[in-house]
Structure formats: C-alpha cells, structure tokens
A and B are shown apart, each in its own frame.
Chain A
Amino acid sequence: MARKVTARRVWVSTAAAWLFGFLIFLPILWMVLTSFKTELDAFSMPPKFLLFHWTTENYTTVQERSDYLHHALNSILIAGGSTLIAMIIAVPAAWSMAFAPTKRTKDLLLWMLSTKMMPSVGVLVPIYLIFRDFGLLDTRAGLVMILCLGNLPIVIWMLFTYFKEIPKDILEAARMDGATIGRELVYVLTPMAVPGLASTLLLNFILAWNEAFWTLNLSTLEAAPLTTFIASYSSPEGLFWAKLSAASTLAIAPIIILGWFTQRQLVRGLTFGAVK
C-alpha cells in the first residue's frame, strides 16, 4: 500500500532537503565569499555575509606570491598519473577476482582493505626514510607512486563490486553466440563495464587530487600540488584567512568543474549496488 503523500509533507521534506543541502554547501560558499573579502572583513565579528567590500585583491596577491599554474599542473600530473597506474593494475586484478574467484579471493580482498585501516601517519617515518634514500622526496614520481599505492585497495574494491554485478549469464550467452574471448571483451564486457570504469576513475582522481597527508609531508615546492599550495597560506606568522580562501578556491575549482560535468557517473559509482 502506497503511503499517502500530502502537499504538506511534500513541502516539509522539500524544505528539509534544501536546508540540508545548504548546510553541506555552506563551508564552500563561505570559503568563496571570504576569498573576496579584505583580511579585515574576513575576521570581523559578527561575520559579514554579503555586505562587505568586495575585492579581487587576494587573488592577485596569491598569484604574485606563488605560481598557481605550476602547482595546478603538479596536481593534474600527480592525480592523473596515480589514477592511471592504479587503473592499469586494478582492472585485471578485479577482473580475475570477479570472474575467476578462488577460495582465497575474499581473504585477499579483505587483506587489501586492511591496509587502509591503519592511519597513514603510522608509516610516515619509514616511508619518509625510503623516499629520502631513493631520492624521491619532492618528486612527482614519488607522489604518483605513494598515492597510487594508497588508493589501489579502494580502486580494486570498487571495480570488483562493479564487475561482480555483471551477470555471468550474459558472458555465457556471448560465448554461445560464437564470440571468442577477445570479442566477448570488446563487444560485451567492456561496453557493460564502461560506467563502472568511469566512476571509479573519477572518484580515484578526486581522492588523489584532495589527498593532503602524503603530499604535504613528501613535497615542498618542486613537486608540490595544490594541497601544499593551500597549506603555504597557513604560516607560523599567522593565518591569512582571505588569502587562504582565495588559494583554496583556486585549488578546488578544477575538481568542482570536473565533478559538475560528471556528476551522473559519480553518483552511480558511489551508490552502485545500493538498488537493483
């Protein structure tokens, strides 16, 4: 029996959804607003919402003080590189675990995930020493490697659950229809797996883009991505809220734009398997 939906109920739940959405959006909005304030307005109590002196001065200062494009390029290379390598390793791994599982497949998956259960800081010292001895400190290659390794378990898990959902019957039907393994891959499996691959790729890219722990600890300038760039505005001499906000806005802008255009794939990836 369907529950009766009254106009009042619709109104209340719509309002609640908007309120909740606004609450989640508020920090980002506040950051963008602050980036257009003077340092004085950024500190003022009570806080000023819209009626303040709008200025783009912070953006000019940020651009003068540091090379945004350099860091943005680092971010793209590090996030992109680590995602690409992770996918190259994870696709065949998840594939074989989903379609040719052995009795130890479950244990293996759990073991992979268990590496994410330890806080990263627990291995900071050994990783730092390894990086130092191999000359990987402040190199893009080093960051690509560590982010790739860090995200690999999640990527494999996502792809595994995705491949698992592809019904075996369909692959068998293709086999009965006379498809060889190669053609089965090209005509049946890959087209069916594309949405899953896309959402995994995107999510992993975003995770790598926003990763701050390793990038902050293992890079200074040369290989520093946007996360390090933001952090450079919180200095021992004091916090410059407006400039920090301007830097943050610049840092997240590309990823927000990417997320905006790919939200359908993202939502599918994050809620995959939740409903039939």
Chain B
Amino acid sequence: MGQITLQGVRKSFGPVNIIKDANLDIEDGSFVVFVGPSGCGKTTLLRLIAGLEDVTGGQILIDGKNVVDVPPAKRGLSMVFQSYALYPHMSVRGNIAFGLKMAGLPRPDIDRKVEAAAATLNLTPYLERKPRDLSGGQRQRVAIGRAIVREPKAFLFDEPLSNLDAALRVQMRLEVTKLQKQLATTAIYVTHDQVEAMTMADKIVVLNAGQIEQYGSPLELYERPANLFVAGFIGSPKMNFVSGEAVGEPGVATLGVRPEHLRIGKEGEGWPGTVSVAEHLGSDTFLYVDAGKLGLLTARCIGEFNLKAGDRIWLSPDPTRLHRFDKDGAVIRT
C-alpha cells in the first residue's frame, strides 16, 4: 500500500514561503511526477514527504496516517537522490543491503533479496565493486536497487537522471517506468524536464512558485491546461499566446494556440507574418514567424517545406484547438 495525501501542507524558510498550501491525493501504485521551473518548490515538497524537512503547517498522510512527526527512517519510503548518494566505502552489495541490515533482517534473507534486486537491475557482475569503480548509469542502478530492495510504500525520485548523458537518460527513463509498473509501487518523481514528465507519469503535478497549478494526466494537462502557466510550461515548442485586439472575443484576455495547431493558409487568411527562422528537423519543421504586433509565433509543420527566412506567410489557428484565458490567466471553459 502506498497512498499519499497532502492536506494544506505549508513550508517556509524564515520569511520565505516555499510551499503554499499544497493539497494532493496520490493513489496507490500510481506514478506521479512533480514538474516545474527551478525554484518552484518541487524538491522541497518531495523532501517534506520524505521527512527530510519538517512541515510548517498541514498534514501528510501515508495510508491514512499522519506522518508529519514521524522521522524519515520510519515512514517506509525510499529515495533516489540526484547525486546517487551511494555509500562510498561500501561495495554495491553493501549499499543495496544497508537498508535491510538496518531493518534487522537475517543474513540469508538479505543476501537473497540483494541478489534478486541486482538481477533485476543487471548489477550481478558488479556486486563486489565499490561505487567509484562504476559508471554513472551503473551507480544510478545501485541507487535504484537500494530503493527497491526494501519494498517501500513509495519511491521518491529527486531528479535521478539529470546527471546522465542524453542517450542513457532515455534508456533509464524507460527502465524506471517499466520497473515501477512491474513492482506496482507508488512513485513520486521530481524533474524539471517536461519530456520526462510527459513520458513517465500517470499524473503530473505542475508547480510554480510554491503553488500547485494543476494536477492531472499528461494529456489532460496538454489538452486542457487550467491556466496560462501550465499552458506555457507543458509542450515544446511553447504554446503561442496572443493578446490585445487580435483576440476579438469579449471577456477573453489571451488566446493560446499550440504550434502544431497553426496552419499555413492562403493569402489573406489568418495572421500575416514573416518567417524569421525555419528549423528543419527532418520530420518536422519549426517556423518562427514575426507576426508584427502579435509578437513571435511558432508553427510546427509536418514534412519538408520550402519556406525560408524572409518569406511572407499567413497563419490560421485551428478554431477547435484554441485555448481562451481570462485576465487573471485562468482558462475559460466553453
């Protein structure tokens, strides 16, 4: 079991409020990603759940039990750190076994569990090595092994892949997702990388300035962002925002349209602009269009186009895919 509920959780460091009233319901077995720009409080929120920081106010429930006064060692969670935080003086075996040793398990049980975890993570040949003799990817696996071997109520991941190179990151991303599905253990994963968030999560929590902006499945966030911040944060390239007279709808302060929902239309149709940069990625072409008073618009076209910088084009948004926001930035549902 591993159901985690946050009720009015607050955290301040001196006069600075890092987390402002966080409410969240994380279902057992789900993979939840905290995402947001740096300094938004996502790591702090994770550390509050872990117990490595004390809450200033509110409750954290694990399986219905308030744990704010329970030390991290007794919360039954395990954590994978960004720096791996392996014990440098212990072998891989010692690292993975440490939690079980602390729990007072008999030696044969420890060995059996460690070897099973090592087999799952392809670490069997390295069990007797020290962390310094391992590559970055292997160290990361040891850190994960240390987390899974204890069969915790939930895994907490603090940007675990950010120290790996791009190719390895993609591979580990898949492995972590697969492992979590296989173990069916609740996981909370902190990242600033929205690709990781979109691909790994069952549900995403978008944080900004200590506030939960939206909580939902990746596609929900993509298709129905609750406000300007989420609309701008999720999706790459960023959503285009148009405000002012060009909106032309009463009560709507800002119109949002994703780059893939801008079509290149006939002359005189939609918004006119001049191509300032055309990025040809092979499968896609990103056009950065200077649309005068509307600012810079990004359009994503499929396939190769003969457009180049300086060309004059007309962009028209798909009317069914428009996002409308009021003057406070909240979405207007129709």
Binding site for B on A (CB under 8 A): 167, 169-170, 172-180, 183, 187-188, 191-192
Contacts and interface: CB of A to CB of B under 8 A. Distances in A.
A172 B73 contact: no
Given A169-B81, A172-B81, A177 B98 contact: yes
Nearest to A175: B72
B33 interface: no
Interface stretch (B85-93, B214-222, B312-320): B85-93
Nearest to B97: A177
Query: What are the nearest 6 A-B pairs in CB distance?
Result: A169-B85, A177-B99, A173-B85, A178-B102, A178-B73, A191-B89
A95 to B, nearest CB: 18
A172 B99 contact: no
A170 B85 contact: yes
Contacts of A167: 83, 85
Contacts of A192: 87-89
Contact of B99 (A169, A178, A180, A188): A178
Interface in B258-285: none
B188 to A, nearest CB: 13
B150 interface: yes
Given A183-B102, A187-B98, A177 B85 contact: no
B72 A176 contact: yes
B170 interface: no
B40 interface: no
A188 B78 CA distance: 17
Q: How large is the interface on B (under 10, 10 to 19, 20 to 34, 35 or more residues)?
A: 20 to 34
Contact of B78 (A177, A180, A191): A177
Nearest to A180: B73
Nearest to B94: A187
Contacts of A170: 85-88
Interface in B62-91: 71-74, 77-79, 81-83, 85-89
B102 A172 contact: no
Given A173-B81, A174-B98, A187-B98, A179 B87 contact: no
B52 interface: yes
Given A183-B102, A192-B88, A177 B83 contact: no
Given A187-B98, A192-B89, A176 B83 contact: no
Most buried by A among B71, B78, B82, B98: B98
Most buried by A among B72, B74, B77: B72
A172 to B, nearest CB: 5
Nearest to B83: A169
Contacts of B72: 172, 175-176
B212 interface: no
A268 to B, nearest CB: 14
Contacts of B146: 173, 177
A174 B103 CA distance: 12
B103 A172 contact: no
B81 A177 contact: no
B289 interface: no
Nearest to B50: A176
B87 A188 contact: yes
A243 to B, nearest CB: 49
A59 to B, nearest CB: 45
A275 to B, nearest CB: 14
Contacts of B87: 170, 173-174, 188, 192
B102 A179 contact: yes
Given A173-B81, A173-B86, 19 more contacts: A167-B83, A169-B81, A170-B88, A172-B72, A172-B85, A173-B146, A175-B52, A176-B72, A176-B79, A177-B99, A177-B102, A178-B73, A178-B99, A178-B150, A179-B102, A187-B98, A191-B89, A192-B87, A192-B88
B145 to A, nearest CB: 12
A172 B86 CA distance: 11
26 contacts: A169-B85, A172-B52, A172-B72, A173-B79, A173-B81, A173-B86, A175-B52, A175-B71, A175-B73, A176-B52, A176-B73, A176-B77, A176-B78, A176-B79, A177-B73, A177-B99, A177-B102, A177-B150, A178-B74, A178-B99, A178-B150, A179-B73, A179-B102, A180-B73, A192-B88, A192-B89
A173 B142 CA distance: 13
